[in-house]
Amino acid sequence: MRVKVAVCFAVVIALFGLPVMARMSVSKTQQKLSVDRRVDHLLAQMTIEEKVGQLNQLFYLKQFMNPEMVEPGIREGKIGSLLFVTDPAIINRFQKVAVENSRLKIPLLFGFDVIHGFRTVFPVPLAMASSWDPALVEQAQSVAASEARAVGVRWTFAPMVDIARDPRWGRIVEGAGEDPFLGARMAAAQVRGFQGQDPSSPGRLLACMKHFAGYGAGSGGRDYDSAYIADAELHNVYLPPFKAAVDAGVGSAMSAYMNLNDVPATGNAFLLRDVLRKDWGFKGFVVSDADSVGNLVTHGFAEDKADAAYRALTAGIDMEMSLPGNSVNMAYATSLAKLIQEGRVTKAQLDEAVRRILEAKFKLGLFDNPYVDESRIATIHNNPEHRRLARVAAQRSMVLLRNEGNLLPLSKGDPKISSVAVIGPLADSKRDIRGSWTFADDVNSAVTVFEGIRAKVRSSVKVEHAPGVDIARVYPSIFEVINGRRPPGWSEAQKQAEFEKAVSLARSSDVIIMVLGELEEMSGEAASQSTLDLPGRQLELLKTISGLGKPVVLVLINGRPLEISWAAANIPAILEAWHPGSEGGNAVADILYGDATPGGKLPVTWPRSTGQIPIYYAHHLTQEPETKKNFTSRYWDIPSSALYPFGHGLSYTTFSFSNLRVSKPEVKVGESTEVLVDVENTGQRAGEEVAQLYIHQRYGSASRPVRELKGFERVALAPGQKRTVRFTLGKQELTYWSGAARAWVQEPAVFDLWVGADATAPLTTTLRVVGR
């Protein structure tokens, strides 16, 4: 009995407010108690208002708010979480109010959009997917987690794992592209990178997969627009990356803004309860996207704010995220207590949501260690290994689209190259080399392409820069309030003068590096566009300079595929660098001058024109297959094939694939077999190739895509080196959701297999699966 009393006394001390050192002294005893018992004990003490407070997340923007505006709500238990606070002093200040001055001493959970870095900016997620290197992705997010954790952030709103097959959609930049297999591998890698084995461990964060689900399928590529997805496509294409994140142990999920088949995702019980919890067994908590609970009224789904709160909570939304300036009018805060009084929401339903939030806070160790050690921040943020890894990540993410005549790599010692012109509006832009969703770094530490090339050649080559043109959005970005507005655009006279200056510089230079593409705010949230054309007069500038007859290299800085058909036919070398991050300029220079060999591969199909969208490799057959001998195009004006296929990417060396075989050419349903292929470096330089395995099921209860990615491996080979790559094909890879059977099935069938360098790989064999 004495032991039980002592234990209970320790819990009471821990939960309800002795000084920090006293709380720390009993932490070992606390750890012996299960999280469930600790949550039960705390729930029993909470009022309805305090429970509702745990479900409220305040969006804190320092541009419009100050701590004094927030502290009363924390003290009164009306706020359970804050987002967008990255000042460690403010975090400690708010946390002190919560754990020392509120009645129940419940710590706050601080979240932030740690998307592709924090202090050190890594390539944007679409670029990281281009590395086809999950281990690298895991390392990068581990660094991002450590830097964010250092200032007190404990929860990231990443990874975004939405499949995107329309590059007009701005948020394609935040995901892994069009393919569910690649997307699933990247989703799991990011979860592991953020959370490690235990998100409470030093340098780790709680991850949040988003946006559940179907957000990337908005009509017309328009952000927030409705998505209409057939069941088979939902299960086979859009949900697998989310399932992979759950299997990797992701601790939280975020609902999407849009309607899915006429039901808003934030009020969609099919998604949030049937799929997420019942089918997948997800144990974490779900947060709404910013103000998406209240938006259920805007959607025409909920009658009023109270109805929105009812529909969201009962559908499975545990925490409501506010928009800046809307925290006092949040649906949960204003309506849940009354809904409970009226009996529309039960106390058990409220407790279910609160329990998940408290469990997360206990598992993160916030009750035991709520504060930030500010003395360690500089050491973590200034770790040179972080910048080194960012440079490697950028190198490995870049995709060499074209290299006619082996123009690349350039030689630093070539006597014919005494001057290099680096031309374009993005050539010397620190802001744009980083990409969207970069709010916590030092923009001045970013390395531009111009700076990287100049540092690479040093004084041996004259390197000069001219922007040539200016570019801008027609409608401003919603993030201007955070990142600041751009300088005013050029006058007409200045536009003409700068254009002529760039052409003159090109004319007097031996080699021209054109750095074109998009500003960072041209992709990301609320950054959809109607065309994939190079913005502004960039194409005109490229054509004019190309007409000078000098060697021209095109470097693209962008967050989506762009319409570059003219360049693909006329510019000998094209490097897709994406938004490559803090070390982007150095990495571009490493690739251009051969100190690193390109090995990235496209995670999306690259269209010839906007009119081809949506275009993706895993389409279905028609009555007239594209493999038919006399097939030309499904259009009368352009080929229906992609400009560059999914998985495409060149190297400075060459590779061959041969000896494709299957260890067991015939297996029973449920059995596995190995697919083996020899990959050889047939060139004169060391390089890396991504071996890609595709399958096609010839017949079954439903038709299947012409090809589906089911395995890949990035392999490094010295000149002349050959290596056997092995893939496993089994139940997991050969099962699909059948719209006819309305279930997951693996069926007896003949499968075509291909292995090669992209989705058009010609090397093929077959596998037969027979019934048991």
Residue 206, φ and ψ in degrees, nearest 5: -80, 130
Q: For residue 232, give the nearest of 288, 180, 171 by alpha carbon.
A: 180
Contact 527, 477 (CB under 8 A): yes
Query: How are strands ordered across the β-sheet holding 56-59?
Result: 155-156, 109-112, 81-83, 56-59, 320-321
**Alpha-helical segments (H) within 33-133:** 35-43, 48-54, 67-75, 88-96, 125-130
* 447/168 Cα distance (integer angstroms): 28
**616/223 Cα distance (integer angstroms):** 19
Inter-helix orientation angle 347-363/331-342, to 10° = 140
Residue 211 near residue 241 (C-beta atoms within 8 A): no
DSSP 8-state secondary structure symbol assigned to residue 121: B
Note the residue count of the chain: 772
Q: Which residue do the tokens 């990255």 mark?
A: 86
Phi, psi of 504 (to 5 degrees): -65, -40
183 within 8 A of 126, measured Cβ to Cβ: no
- Please enumerate in sequence order all residues whose Cβ is within 8 A of that of 270, keeping only pairs 6 or more positions apart, or say none: 263
Which among 525, 521, 516, 563 is positioned nearest to 544, based on CA atoms?
516
| Catalytic site residue from 162, 166, 289, 432 | 289
The DSSP symbol for 676 reads: E
Q: Which one-letter DSSP state was computed for residue 254?
A: E
> What is the DSSP secondary-structure string of 137-203?
HHHHHHHHHHHHHHTT--EE---B------TTSGGGGGS--S-HHHHHHHHHHHHHHHHTT-TTSTT
What number of other Cβ atoms are within 10 A of residue 472's Cβ? 17
Partners of 160 in the β-ladder: 210
CA 123 to chain centre: 10
Alpha-carbon span 497 to 389, nearest angstrom: 40
Q: Starting at the earlier edge strand, list the strands of the sheet with 655-662.
A: 655-662, 673-681, 722-729
Catalytic residue list contains 289 = yes
The helix/strand count (H/E) of the chain reads as 27, 26
Alpha carbons 396 and 72: distance in angstroms, whole number:
49
Distance of CA 427 to the CA centre of its chain: 25
Check residue 222 and give left, alpha or beta (phi > 0: left; psi -120 to 50: alpha).
beta
DSSP assigned state of 650:
B
Which active-site residues does the annotation give?
289
